[in-house]
């Protein structure tokens, strides 16, 4: 493998090499969110087909008092830590309420995209002049580890938008256990879960008519071209999404439209694609109540409260460490 210029780029190169050398080929969804990927995902959240954002926003809007009461229960102050905050539209509802009741808190958005963090910081500083905001750019766990001991205040860690659905089950359990390691018994986890629903509704959310989700997936090939010297021709790949009801999982792929060879200079490697061969890009797990119970227990938590949107079959679950 060729030499790159940073540990992050080296890891990206190593993961691309492993993924494209596998059978079937795969690329990690963790690399979707460069600055352009983050921008595209913010566009996806506005799409009429993409219901998860609206479903969670409805919970926050209608149940903000109860949610914030749970955050502040039996403590005087909290650090509100959000993993992958995006444009902050939903979080703004909770922040506005916390400020209105005079809660003592600092908001810590964590994102791998500096541009996304800068945009959010500017937006919230203007919208909430009294808000104490401390953005962090980087890997979730590296940042969380730096906040581990901190000031002794309760950490409320938020992982919203059903982003946990992008993890296979074993990886989700490992993620929760890693979070548990940087949490005290007084800390809390607030996490969004998209529930099982009409398969047609789910497929539409991951294959919108405007083609923005397709651009979001294809952007990872563009990133490989830019950062690793790849020569992917994006016009020779197409986006495909499906939902498997028995697995409760949506999956997305990029399909090679013809037999072709792609070279990536940083890897000193070429990769052959058969016509209609798929690259597995992402899983979006949907959940049942029993699945959430099992994840909490296996991850080192118990469910303290749940906030439910019955119309859209969406849950924000409030966990405490055990």
Residues 193, 204: one domain? no
pLDDT in tens, 12-30: 999 999 999 999 999 999 8
- Look at residue 254 and tell me whether its pLDDT is greater than 90: yes
Both 254 and 307 in one domain: the answer is no
Calculate mean pLDDT across residues 186-209: 96
Span 78-96, mean pLDDT? 92
Q: What is the pLDDT of residue 38?
A: 86
Within-domain flag for 60? yes
CA 242 to chain centre: 19
Cα 266 → chain centroid: 27
Q: pLDDT by residue (tens digit) across 131-145?
A: 999 998 888 878 877
Comparing 167 with 17, which gets the higher pLDDT?
A: 17
pLDDT band with cut points at 50, 70 and 90 for residue 8: confident
Query: Can you state the angle between helices 212-228 and 7-21, rounded to 10 degrees?
Result: 110
Q: Is residue 58 part of a domain?
A: yes
CATH code assigned at 73: 3.40.50.150
Residue 318's pLDDT band, with cuts at 50, 70 and 90, is very high
User: How many structural domains comprise the chain?
Assistant: 2
Q: Rg for the chain (alpha carbons), in Å?
A: 20
Task: Give the Cα separation of 271 and 299 in Å (integer).
Answer: 38
Residue 16: predicted pLDDT: 98
Instruction: Mark whether 181 and 305 lie in a shared domain.
Output: yes
Mean pLDDT of the chain: 93
CB atoms near residue 181 (< 10 Å): 13
Same domain, 280 and 300: no
Tell me how far apart the alpha carbons of residues 123 and 117 are, in angstroms, rounded to a whole number. 10
Query: What are the C-alpha distances in Å from 274 to residues 173, 254, 259, 261?
Result: 35, 13, 4, 9
- Omega prior to 170 cis, within 30 of 0: no
Q: How far apart are CA 92 and CA 52, in angstroms?
A: 17
Q: Answer whether residue 2 shows pLDDT above 60.
A: no
3, pLDDT greater than 70:
no
In this predicted structure, the answer to whether residue 4 has a pLDDT above a threshold of 60 is no
pLDDT at residue 30, as a whole number: 86
DSSP result, 4-39: -SSHHHHHHHHHHHHHHHSSSEE--GGGS-SHHHHH
Same-domain status, 97 and 181: yes
pLDDT higher than 60, residue 248: yes
Same domain, yes or no: 261 and 302:
no
Q: Is the same domain home to 72 and 220?
A: no
- Which pLDDT belongs to residue 140? 80
Q: Does residue 149 share a domain with residue 274?
A: no
pTM value is 0.88
SS3 category, 191: strand
- Host domain of residue 297: 51-197+287-321
Do 13 and 80 sit in the same domain of this protein?
A: no
Query: Is the model's pLDDT at 267 over the cut of 60?
Result: yes
User: What confidence category does residue 150 fall into, taking pLDDT thresholds of 50, 70 and 90?
Assistant: low
Predicted confidence at residue 193, as pLDDT, reads 98
CA distances (Å), origin 119, targets 47, 88, 161, 209: 20, 10, 19, 28
In the chain, DSSP assigns E strands to 25-26, 77-83, 104-111, 136-137, 154-159, 188-194, 237-244, 249-256, 260-264, 269-273, 278-285, 301-309, 314-321
212 shares a domain with 99:
no
User: How far is the CA of 309 from the CAs of 49, 87, 166, 284, in angstroms?
Assistant: 17, 22, 21, 19
Q: Confidence band (pLDDT; 50, 70, 90) for 230?
A: very high
Q: Are 174 and 221 in contact (CB under 8 A)?
A: no
Q: Is residue 138 part of a domain?
A: yes
Query: Of the ranges 44-48, 136-140, 173-177, which one carries the lowest mean pLDDT score?
Result: 136-140
pLDDT at 192: 97
């Amino acid at each position: 493998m060729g030499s790159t210029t940073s540990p992050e780029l080296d890891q990206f190169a190593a993961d691309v090499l492993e993924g494209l050398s596998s059978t079937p080929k795969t690329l990690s969804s963790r690399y979707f969110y460069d600055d352009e990927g983050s921008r595209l995902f913010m566009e996806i959240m506005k799409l009429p087909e993409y219901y998860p954002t609206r479903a969670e926003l409805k919970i926050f809007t209608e149940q903000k008092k109860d949610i914030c009461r749970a955050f502040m229960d039996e403590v005087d102050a909290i650090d509100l830590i959000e993993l992958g905050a995006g444009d902050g539209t939903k979080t703004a509802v909770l922040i506005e309420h916390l400020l209105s009741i005079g809660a003592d808190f600092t908001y810590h958005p964590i994102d791998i995209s500096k541009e996304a963090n800068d945009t959010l910081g500017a937006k919230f500083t203007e919208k909430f002049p009294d808000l104490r905001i401390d953005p962090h750019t980087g890997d979730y766990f590296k940042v969380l580890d730096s906040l581990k001991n901190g000031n002794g205040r309760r950490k409320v860690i938020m992982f919203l938008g059903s982003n946990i659905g992008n993890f296979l089950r074993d990886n989700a359990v490992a993620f929760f256990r890693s979070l548990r390691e940087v949490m005290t018994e007084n800390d809390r986890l607030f996490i969004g879960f998209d529930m099982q629903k009409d398969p047609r509704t789910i497929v539409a959310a991951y294959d919108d008519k405007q083609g923005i989700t397709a651009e979001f997936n294809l952007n990872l090939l563009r990133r490989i071209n830019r950062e690793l010297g790849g020569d992917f021709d994006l016009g020779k790949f197409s986006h495909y999404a499906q939902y498997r009801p028995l697995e409760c999982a949506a999956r997305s792929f990029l399909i090679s439209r013809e037999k072709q060879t792609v070279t990536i200079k940083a890897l000193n490697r070429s990769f052959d694609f058969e016509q209609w061969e798929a690259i597995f890009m992402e899983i979006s797990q949907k959940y049942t109540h029993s699945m959430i119970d099992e994840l909490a227990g296996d991850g080192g938590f118990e469910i303290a409260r749940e906030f439910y949107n019955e119309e859209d079959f969406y849950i924000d679950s409030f966990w405490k460490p055990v």
